[in-house]
Amino acid sequence: MAKPGWDLGFVGLGRMGGPMVGRLLDAGHAVTVFDISEAAVRSVVARGAAPAGSAAEIVMTSLPTPDILHRVALGEAGIAHGARVKTVIDLSTTGPSMATRVADGLAARAIQWVDAPVSGGVKGARDGTLAVMVSCPRATLEAIQPILATFGKVFFVGEKPGLAQVAKLGNNLLAAAALVISSEALAMGVKAGLDPAVMIDIINASSGRNSATQDKFPRAILPGTFDFGFATGLSYKDVRLCVDEAEALGVPMVLGAVVRQMLAVTNAKFGPDSDFTSIAKVVEEWAGVEIRS
């Protein structure tokens, strides 16, 4: 049974991984960490983590792309070759195809795979209020539940590898779609002469309210900071994975394809490291307005 005091490994100390390691340390776990960024490692080591040097039985990953996950998990010096590793918990958004592929590769070495993509942003990672979507054998979930609960609310979706990834991709498509359509509606209002802050208040008291109008516009678009905390390149990757998976399943993604194209434009214009709220800047440029308080 996983409990405070167990030795844990964590690979990937980016915007989400760093705060999640902090949650584990606060819960009393010993955590061995690895990241290609020495600064990121130093930051969590200063809080009590140990730099990579010894293996752990349970290793968590928080990585940006499917290819990086595959390399980290199954590569020549990957997690699969750790003598003590028994379970890998992937907190990334890498899609069901890669999740299945990595799960199969780890199974060949008697290592249990757990899909556990998270949603809730950097603030949720820091505060322990993330939604944690999990697919793995039930017995495995029972063992790791205390670990996952340090990150937020756990939602078990089934035992098949990749199921939690499908849930996460659907969520991220909706988040991006809300941002696109809300940007268009707000640009129309501003061009007609409405105060965008007043329009946001109206929408949030009405049937059009959504995650973009309730959170992203007030925090990052109306003030013009565009610093919500989620990169355009990651959102573009997630939506591409979602549309690809839907098409593979024979599910039409008419609007999903449009959202993907909007993110492709944003990614090309502002770069993958820009904040994904920059979608609004694309709409602003096309409309000839600025959506500001």
* Catalytic residue IDs: 168
Q: Which residues contact 149 (CB under 8 A, 6 or more apart)?
A: none
Q: How many whole angstroms separate alpha carbon 166 and alpha carbon 104? A: 18
Tally of residues, the chain: 293
DSSP string, 29-59: -EEEEE-S-HHHHHHHHTTT-EES-S--SEE
Task: Report angle CA 73, 21, 57 to the nearest 5 degrees.
Answer: 45
CA 104 to chain centroid: 23
Answer yes or no: are the C-beta atoms of 2 and 147 closer than 8 Å: yes
Answer yes or no: are the C-beta atoms of 245 and 212 closer than 8 Å: no
C-alpha closest to that of 259 among 177, 141, 138, 137: 177
List residues bridging with 50 in a β-sheet: 32
C-alpha closest to that of 165 among 105, 125, 118, 197: 118
C-alpha closest to that of 243 among 255, 253, 233: 253
